[in-house]
């Protein structure tokens, strides 16, 4: 079967999401495959930023309760828009803080070590910031991270084995924090099974959704996950530094926030100015400070598009894009020592393709010089993320041809094989 450019064009013509590409500022001079690090700006996100600026201009302090998007309720409004992406009720989600701030909040709220259950279970492939936070939380409790943070090992350096994680759920584990999707290989963990096994052992479990939020569907309530947290600048295109999000299972409503603050308050009581906190009776209790209104503004427009497109449709196209990319890599680049290190099984693969090559850093530089924007990961990884809402199958084909030219002509040798300040 021919899977060349004509085939790519045919896939584009049959793409039910193709009109969303027009919503984004897509350059005609480059192919952007780094949406799993920072999504592109959409026209709707830009529009809602200006709407929030205008509400400040027009209403001043009354913008907290007046205007198109009153600021006082903005975190809850965005939580409601986010809820379908993670399969939960609106009251279980709040858009607030950042990934790491929210992790600190959730661990401080749900990690209560005892004499017999005093350890946190994580993994060795997680993004470093999660591990920094977990070690910090242990230290704050007077516990040694070297003995009280248990990290599950990988058998192959790319993926985690479900049974291996379950075997590490010993009786001294009080809390588990794992990624939903591994940031390097893109492996999707079996959240449902891991949650069920953790609860059998009386262990609370939470997940970092940074590489799955907006890319794959979730059913966190159905799976009975205790908590989750995520960023919004990757697949949901909230912009650099956009506000993060968190989910707390409603069965935990009433749990005092470990890090209480001004916006932990029940809204009706907040301006009573009492020195005893009356916490919100939903996920809002786990906010800390005042919402970052202008950093949240792009999400209003962005999440509206996700509501229209549907996360299941997004996932379907994402899988088609990465399947096509892998087929082309195998067909066109078989002589150049690339290793596809992400899972092939669609149930286990997130929203990007992960290639390994000894010359990965300089290959990424050569790709950027040719107008293809990838993502390098130490020591030898190339992440390529064709995003369902704005990338095309034709771009996938063109990117592989550009990569083939780079390898054939060895133009990557014009660059040093070392990462930049920001990989």
Residue 69 shares a structural domain with residue 185:
yes
- 250 in a domain, yes or no? yes
Mean pLDDT of 303-325: 98
Residue 106 pLDDT > 80: yes
Q: Is 48 annotated as a binding residue?
A: no
Asked if residue 358 and residue 394 are part of one domain, the reply reads yes
Same domain? For 282 and 377 the reply is no
Q: Is 60 left (phi over 0), alpha (psi -120 to 50) or beta?
A: left
| 97 and 108 share one domain | yes
Q: Confirm whether 422 is domain-assigned.
A: no
Q: What is the CATH number of the domain that holds 379?
A: 3.90.1150.10
Residue 205 belongs to a domain with what CATH number?
3.40.640.10
Q: Express each pLDDT in 394-403 by its tens digit.
A: 999 999 999 9
Contact 283, 248 (CB under 8 A): yes
Residue after which a domain boundary falls, among 257, 288, 308: 308
Residue 370 pLDDT grade (very low, low, confident, very high; cuts 50, 70, 90) = very high
Q: How many domains does the chain have?
A: 2
Residue 125 shares a structural domain with residue 110: yes
| Mean of pLDDT over the chain | 97
pTM assigned to the model: 0.97
188, 280: one domain: yes
Average pLDDT over residues 381-397: 98
Q: What is the predicted pLDDT for the residue at 418?
A: 86
129 annotated ligand-binding residue: yes
Establish whether 233 is an annotated binding residue: yes
Pair (25, 146) in one structural domain: no
Q: Give strand pairing partners of 173.
A: 119
Q: Which of 248, 274, 308 is the last residue of a domain?
A: 308
The answer to whether residues 367 and 302 belong to one domain is no
pLDDT band (50, 70, 90) for residue 271 = very high
Same domain, 355 and 303: no
Residue 41 lies in a domain: no
- What confidence tier does 417 reach under pLDDT thresholds 50, 70, 90? confident
- Is 144 inside any structural domain? yes
Domain that residue 241 falls in = 47-308
Per-residue model confidence (pLDDT) at position 208: 98
Residues 343 and 270 in one domain: no
Q: Which of 125, 20, 95 is nearest to 381 (CA)?
A: 125
Q: What pLDDT does 263 receive?
A: 97
- Domain limit, last residue, from 291, 308, 325: 308
Query: Does some domain include residue 37?
Result: no
Q: Do residues 378 and 423 lie in contact, with contact meaning Cβ atoms separated by under 8 Å?
A: yes
Q: What's the rounded Cα separation, in Å, for the pair 112 and 173?
A: 11
211 annotated to a ligand binding site: yes
User: How far is it, in rounded angstroms, from Cα 193 to Cα 191?
Assistant: 6
Residue 301 counted as domain residue: yes
pLDDT of residue 297: 98
Where does residue 334 fall: left (phi above 0), alpha (psi -120 to 50 degrees), or beta otherwise? alpha
At residue 121, the pLDDT reads 99
Say whether both 157 and 245 belong to one domain.
yes
Give the model confidence (pLDDT) of 24-76 as tens digits: 999 999 999 999 999 999 999 999 999 999 999 999 999 999 999 999 999 99
Domain-located, residue 242: yes
C-alpha closest to that of 48 among 347, 322, 297 = 297
275 and 316 together in one domain:
no
**DSSP state, residue 14:** T
**What is the pLDDT at residue 421?**
76
164 is in an annotated binding site: no
Instruction: Say if residue 128 carries a ligand binding annotation.
Output: yes
Q: 171-204 pLDDT, tens per residue?
A: 999 999 999 999 999 999 999 999 999 999 999 9
Does 423 score more than 80 pLDDT?
A: no
Burial letters 341-380, b for 16+ CB under 10 A, else e: bbbeeeebbbbbbbbbbebbbbbbbbbbeeebbbbbbeeb
Is residue 38 included in any domain, yes or no? no
241-269 pLDDT tens trace: 999 999 999 999 999 999 999 999 999 99
**290 belongs to an annotated ligand binding site:** yes
């Amino acid at each position: 079967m021919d899977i060349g450019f004509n085939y790519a064009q045919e896939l584009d013509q049959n793409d039910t999401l193709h009109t969303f590409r027009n919503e984004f500022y897509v350059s005609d001079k480059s192919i952007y495959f780094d949406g799993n690090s920072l999504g592109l700006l959409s026209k709707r996100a830009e529009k809602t930023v200006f709407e929030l600026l205008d509400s400040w201009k027009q209403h001043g302090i009354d913008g907290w309760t007046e205007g198109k998007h009153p600021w006082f309720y903005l975190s809850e409004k965005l939580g409601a828009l986010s809820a379908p992406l993670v399969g939960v009720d609106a009251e279980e989600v709040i858009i607030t803080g950042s990934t790491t701030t929210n992790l600190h909040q959730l661990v401080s709220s749900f990690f209560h070590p005892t004499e017999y259950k005093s350890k946190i279970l994580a993994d060795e492939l997680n993004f470093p910031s999660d591990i920094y936070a977990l070690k910090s939380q242990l230290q704050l409790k007077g516990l040694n991270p070297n003995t009280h943070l248990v990290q599950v090992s990988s058998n192959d350096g790319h993926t985690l084995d479900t049974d291996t994680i379950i075997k590490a759920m010993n009786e001294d584990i009080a809390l588990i924090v794992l990624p939903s999707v591994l940031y390097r290989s893109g492996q999707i963990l079996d959240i449902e099974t891991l949650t069920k096994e953790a609860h059998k052992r009386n262990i609370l479990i939470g997940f970092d959704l940074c590489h799955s939020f907006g890319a794959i569907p979730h059913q966190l309530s159905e799976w009975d996950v205790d908590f989750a947290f995520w960023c919004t600048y990757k697949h949901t295109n909230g912009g650099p530094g956009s506000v993060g999000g968190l989910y707390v299972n409603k069965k935990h409503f009433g749990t005092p926030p470990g890090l209480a603050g001004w916006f932990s308050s029940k809204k009706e009581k907040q301006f009573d100015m009492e020195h005893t906190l009356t916490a919100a009776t939903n996920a809002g209790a786990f906010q800390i400070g005042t919402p970052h209104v202008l950093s949240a503004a792009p999400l209003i427009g962005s999440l509206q598009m996700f509501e229209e497109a549907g996360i299941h449709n997004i996932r379907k196209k994402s899988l088609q894009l990465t399947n096509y990319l892998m087929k082309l890599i195998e067909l066109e680049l078989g002589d150049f020592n690339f290793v596809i290190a992400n899972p092939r099984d669609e149930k286990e693969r997130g929203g990007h393709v992960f290639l390994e090559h000894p010359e990965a850093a300089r290959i990424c530089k050569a790709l950027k010089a040719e107008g293809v924007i990838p993502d390098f990961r130490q020591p030898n990884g190339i992440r390529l993320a064709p995003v369902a809402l704005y990338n095309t199958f034709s771009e996938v084909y063109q990117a592989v041809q550009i990569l083939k030219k780079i390898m054939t002509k060895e133009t990557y040798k014009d660059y040093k094989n070392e990462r930049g300040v920001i990989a």
